């Protein structure tokens, strides 16, 4: 797909795509996709945040139906994550042009500049900029891994395209994406409508015991922070499993101090992350691990400080858009599979502003964010067909216009 | 005690002693103690490995009774660990001189140059050199934290003393040391005779699962290396507690890859250390955790590789020397407390060559290797008194000479 436009060599034998926002690889990808947009009858441009936008007017003056996803990748990522939704959007435009089919609504295909958050440390950065969730001042000052601010990176980013604006009023946002998990592939279905994008709660926990000599400190005298941390790691998994799918709980990072084989650990810092599609359940998981942490502290003789939770509520997809996607899947001869998204996507940022929906296609083995990421081309094409049919169904409806950038944030 | 000769400032407000082998602080300490040795009637010199040796001949031609411990410290260590045994040895010589009491045996007081292993990464380095366990070739090439070889460090070490040799034939080795644990202080006794120096078994375990997206990977699909590691951390403690004191088990170091809050851990590397005074029990603990590791691997869907064990058997102290120490404690008006040492000491390196024994005095709160390390001066003085009486008791016996450096290693 876009592998050739981001094919920097990755470590070892593993090849993959490392296409970071405002990099040369990103600029090349923008150039290629912009050319495809023009062939498909879209006028290509680049907005102030580096997003590639291909637009065509509608026959009426209705608001825009936006199709999109992101063009950036994680380091050594796969070829589908993000790029699929952008290229499929262009394919929808091409199919409409070839069939001579007009739309009442204007259509825009967007390749967001930065969704993965690798370069600037903020996920869904580009969609947060266009919806005003990240104010212009912050956009200007965010500093990337290369030391440059986002404003400097954007200023030096010259994809050779006219400057354009992100659609101000939109009727719907549609995003085709790979699932990045094993659920759809295992279901035997080939395409899914996303019900909700999972909520995420993250915190950092610090356990403090007493570093001591591993030879002279009897077991009964120890205040071992790592033993307490082991209890917590197991409790996080047990709590998530007790709630059942789609709830998940993860300790992904953990560091031990002083970290020598002959010293009883005095301090452990670890991350806790819960995800689930029910906001009440999400809060209940946070409360539950707080109770466990208190018990661990008491039983292991350590102190346990649970930091503030960074809690992002689940984002339900628009019901009308979900119905249209389900009907489009039916019309394409398939049974719609309804599932939540365990990962975050640009659609979750757009959804509070614009009626939004997502289409998932299977990830072989549930593998993503690595070079082995794979989706059968037939499934990718089916996803694009469903995207096209959804656009046509929505175009027949009288969609209300929604402001992408809330008026009080507009400047 | 020797605080002034190694009082480099330590981090924060915590002051402490950082006296690394062949440092300026070490040279200053050697100078001060050598002067005290001369005042106490000992001829002070420095051997080829940097050990400070103060010697006086006996009235007969019997082998040497060696008193000693080490002069180096851990970073920001306390004032007692090591230095106490050296200074008490000098005090023994001073008391003998003041009382005009002669000994049949020659007497040597040794301040070993490097016991902690901080500078060159090898614990009890100096005693290993004098007993030939570290051959001269290896001594020459060992490289320290400052980039210099041990030979270079020694060559530049100029404490202004004549070169002397470590006693070739010894009758006994006696070491007074702080316990560095809470057992003696809690017993209510003030001085102990050490029965055995604990055996140590160490290994590194690697758990490999599969790094995956923390949002899209259901709990039932995870092969989480950190969850397996948590099982193992708890199993190490449970196995040691099941054996009862003095067995201890510690996971002191643990690292997680890739180590991000939103990625299921794919790989964990951790240290396991068991210590106990029974060699059979030590091997049983190693076998036991191997069985646990296999079960963890099966139940968590990860692979678990237990590395080779670095196993050092327990070292019993000489029974005759133990009896002499116990009698000396009695004569000093105290009940002898018999206990193992959970930490390693120079005595464990000398013991296979020379009948060896250790005297412990209490560590307040069991704290050591930090500036808060403390032993009441009365207890330190009592330890020195017991050391003196033990020397006198041993001097009355017909002790056999033992070669410190085995003849086949002599060069």
Cβ distance A215 to B179 less than 8 Å, yes or no, reads no
Q: Mapping DSSP to helix (H, G, I), strand (E, B) and coil, where does residue A324 land? A: helix
Locate the chain A residue with the closest alpha carbon to B254: A256
pTM beyond 0.95: the answer is no
DSSP string spanning B239-308?
Answer: HHHHH-TT-EEE---EEEES--TTEE--EEEEEEEEEES-HHHHHHHHHHHHHHHHHHHHHHT-EEEE--
Q: What's residue B411's pLDDT?
A: 40
Cβ distance B251 to A237 less than 8 Å, yes or no, reads no
Mean pLDDT within A276-285: 97
Q: Mapping DSSP to helix (H, G, I), strand (E, B) and coil, where does residue A230 land? A: helix
Spatial distance between the Cα atoms of B207 and B297, rounded to a whole number of angstroms: 8
Spatial distance between the Cα atoms of A411 and B294, rounded to a whole number of angstroms: 62
Spatial distance between the Cα atoms of A345 and A371, rounded to a whole number of angstroms: 20
Locate the chain B residue with the closest alpha carbon to A343: B215
Q: Please give, rounded to a whole number of angstroms, the shortest distance from the CA of B200 to a CA of chain A.
A: 9
- The string of pLDDT tens digits covering residues A166-210 is 999 999 999 999 999 999 999 999 999 999 999 999 999 999 999
Q: Mapping DSSP to helix (H, G, I), strand (E, B) and coil, where does residue A398 land? A: coil
Cβ distance B221 to A248 less than 8 Å, yes or no, reads no
Strand-pair category, B62-70 with B169-178:
parallel
Q: What's residue A159's pLDDT?
A: 86
Spatial distance between the Cα atoms of B215 and B6, rounded to a whole number of angstroms: 53
Contacts of B180 in chain A (CB under 8 A): 213, 215-216
Q: Please give, rounded to a whole number of angstroms, the shortest distance from the CA of A44 to a CA of chain B.
A: 33
Cβ distance A219 to B202 less than 8 Å, yes or no, reads no
Mean pLDDT within A380-385: 98
Give which of B230, B268, B292 to mutate to test A binding, by max A Cβ within 10 Å: B230
Which residues are paired to B271 by β-bridges? B204
Mean pLDDT within A283-296: 97
Cβ distance A180 to B252 less than 8 Å, yes or no, reads no
Spatial distance between the Cα atoms of A2 and B140, rounded to a whole number of angstroms: 58
pLDDT in single tens digits along all 411 residues of chain B: 454 444 444 444 357 899 999 999 999 999 999 999 999 999 999 999 999 999 999 998 889 999 999 999 988 899 999 999 999 999 999 999 999 999 999 999 999 999 998 888 888 999 999 999 988 888 888 898 889 998 899 989 988 899 999 999 999 999 999 999 999 999 999 999 999 999 999 999 999 999 999 999 999 999 999 999 999 999 999 999 999 999 999 999 999 999 989 899 999 999 999 999 999 999 999 999 999 999 999 999 999 999 999 999 999 999 999 999 999 999 999 999 999 999 999 999 999 999 999 999 999 999 998 889 999 999 999 999 999 999 999 999 888 888 887 764 444
**A215 → closest Cβ in B230, B256, B275:** B275
Q: What's residue A4's pLDDT?
A: 41
Q: Please give, rounded to a whole number of angstroms, the shortest distance from the CA of A57 to a CA of chain B.
A: 37
Q: Residue A385 corresponds to which tokens in the numbers above?
A: 């067909």
Q: Write the ipTM.
A: 0.88
Please confirm whether the linkage preceding B246 is cis (ω < 30° from 0): yes
Domains in chain A with CATH codes: 3-198+315-404 (3.40.630.10), 199-312 (3.30.70.360)
The number of beta carbons lying within 10 Å of the beta carbon of residue A236 is: 27
The CA–CA distances, whole Å, from B215 to A53, A207, A340 equal 29, 25, 11
Contacts of A254 in chain B (CB under 8 A): 226, 254, 256, 259
Q: Please give, rounded to a whole number of angstroms, the shortest distance from the CA of A232 to a CA of chain B.
A: 9
Contacts of B229 in chain A (CB under 8 A): 230, 233
B74 in Cβ contact with B89 (< 8 Å): no
Locate the chain A residue with the closest alpha carbon to B225: A252
Contacts of B213 in chain A (CB under 8 A): 180-181, 342-343, 368-369
Res. A2 pLDDT band, cuts 50 70 90: low
DSSP string spanning A168-205?
Answer: SEEEEEEEEEE--SSHHHHHT-S-EEEEEEPEEEEEEE
Alpha-carbon dihedral of residues A259, A261, A267, A269, nearest 10 degrees? 60
Q: What's residue B285's pLDDT?
A: 98
Q: Please give, rounded to a whole number of angstroms, the shortest distance from the CA of B219 to a CA of chain A.
A: 6
Spatial distance between the Cα atoms of B53 and B47, rounded to a whole number of angstroms: 7
**B215 → closest Cβ in A231, A248, A271:** A248
Mean pLDDT within A217-224: 96
Q: What's residue A137's pLDDT?
A: 82
Contacts of A367 in chain B (CB under 8 A): 212
Mean pLDDT within A309-313: 94
Cβ distance A216 to B249 less than 8 Å, yes or no, reads no
Contacts of B200 in chain A (CB under 8 A): 215
Give which of B194, B201, B214, B311 to mutate to test A binding, by max A Cβ within 10 Å: B214
Give which of A10, A180, A205, A213 to mutate to test B binding, by max B Cβ within 10 Å: A213
Q: Mapping DSSP to helix (H, G, I), strand (E, B) and coil, where does residue B53 land? A: strand
A139 in Cβ contact with A21 (< 8 Å): no
3-class SS string, B196-231: EECEEEEEEEEEECCCEECCCCCHHHCCCHHHHHHH
Contacts of B247 in chain A (CB under 8 A): 219
Mean pLDDT within A100-113: 96
Q: Please give, rounded to a whole number of angstroms, the shortest distance from the CA of B311 to a CA of chain A.
A: 14
Which residues are paired to A17 by β-bridges? A77
Cβ distance B182 to A229 less than 8 Å, yes or no, reads no
Cβ distance B275 to A214 less than 8 Å, yes or no, reads yes
B172 in Cβ contact with B321 (< 8 Å): yes
Tokens 């270079």 appear where?
B152
Cβ contacts below 8 Å, chain A against chain B, sum to 195
C-alpha dihedral sign at A138, A144, A147, A151: negative
**A227 → closest Cβ in B237, B275, B342:** B237
Number of separate helices (H) and strands (E) present in chain B: 11, 18
Contacts of A215 in chain B (CB under 8 A): 180-181, 198, 200, 248, 275, 341-344
* Nearby residues of A295 by Cβ (< 8 Å), 6 or more positions away: none
Strand-pair category, A199-208 with A310-312:
antiparallel
Q: What's residue B131's pLDDT?
A: 95
Give which of B78, B115, B226 to mutate to test A binding, by max A Cβ within 10 Å: B226
Locate the chain A residue with the closest alpha carbon to B263: A252
Burial category of B86 from C-beta neighbours within 10 Å (exposed 0-12, middle 13-18, buried 19 and up): buried
Give which of B10, B232, B261, B363 to mutate to test A binding, by max A Cβ within 10 Å: B261
The CA–CA distances, whole Å, from B203 to A262, B123, B266 equal 11, 17, 20
Burial category of A137 from C-beta neighbours within 10 Å (exposed 0-12, middle 13-18, buried 19 and up): exposed
Q: Is the pLDDT of residue A9 over 80?
A: no
Residue closest to A144 by CA, chosen among A20, A24, A11, A9: A20
Contacts of A198 in chain B (CB under 8 A): 215
């Amino acid at each position: 797909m876009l592998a050739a436009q981001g094919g920097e060599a990755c470590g070892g034998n593993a090849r993959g795509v490392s296409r970071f926002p405002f990099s040369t690889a990103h600029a090349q990808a923008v150039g290629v996709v912009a050319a495809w947009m023009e062939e498909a009858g879209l006028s290509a441009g680049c907005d102030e945040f580096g997003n590639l936008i291909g637009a065509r007017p509608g026959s009426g003056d209705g608001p825009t139906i936006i199709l999109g996803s992101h063009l950036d990748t994680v380091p050594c990522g796969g070829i589908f994550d993000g790029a699929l939704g952008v290229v499929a959007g262009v394919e929808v435009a091409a199919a409409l042009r070839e069939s001579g089919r007009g739309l009442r609504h204007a259509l825009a295909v967007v390749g967001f500049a930065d969704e993965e958050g690798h370069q600037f440390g903020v996920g869904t950065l580009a969609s947060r900029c266009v919806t005003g969730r990240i104010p212009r001042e912050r956009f200007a000052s965010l500093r990337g891994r290369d030391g440059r601010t986002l404003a400097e990176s954007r200023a030096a980013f010259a994809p050779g395209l006219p400057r354009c604006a992100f659609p101000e009023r939109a009727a719907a946002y549609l995003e085709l994406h790979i699932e990045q998990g094993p659920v759809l592939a295992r279901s035997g279905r080939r395409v899914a409508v996303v019900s909700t994008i999972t909520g995420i709660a993250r915190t950092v926990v610090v356990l403090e015991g007493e570093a001591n000599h591993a030879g002279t400190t009897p077991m009964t005298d120890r205040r071992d922070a790592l033993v307490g941390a082991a209890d917590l790691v197991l409790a996080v998994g047990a709590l998530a499993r007790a709630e059942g799918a789609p709830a998940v709980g993860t300790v992904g990072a953990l560091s031990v101090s002083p970290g020598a084989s002959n010293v009883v650990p005095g301090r452990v810092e670890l991350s806790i992350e819960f995800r689930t599609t029910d906001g009440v359940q999400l809060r209940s998981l946070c409360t539950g691990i707080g109770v466990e942490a208190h018990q661990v502290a008491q039983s292991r003789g350590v102190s346990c400080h649970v930091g503030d939770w960074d809690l992002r509520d689940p984002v339900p997809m628009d019901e009308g858009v979900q119905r249209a996607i389900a009907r489009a899947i039916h019309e394409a001869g398939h049974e719609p599979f309804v599932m939540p998204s365990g990962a975050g996507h640009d659609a979750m940022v757009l959804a509070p502003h614009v009626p939004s929906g997502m289409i998932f296609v299977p990830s072989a083995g549930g593998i993503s964010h690595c070079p082995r990421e794979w989706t059968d081309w037939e499934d990718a094409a089916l996803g694009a067909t469903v995207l096209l049919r959804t656009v046509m169904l929505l175009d027949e409806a009288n969609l209300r216009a929604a402001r992408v950038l809330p008026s009080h944030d507009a400047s």
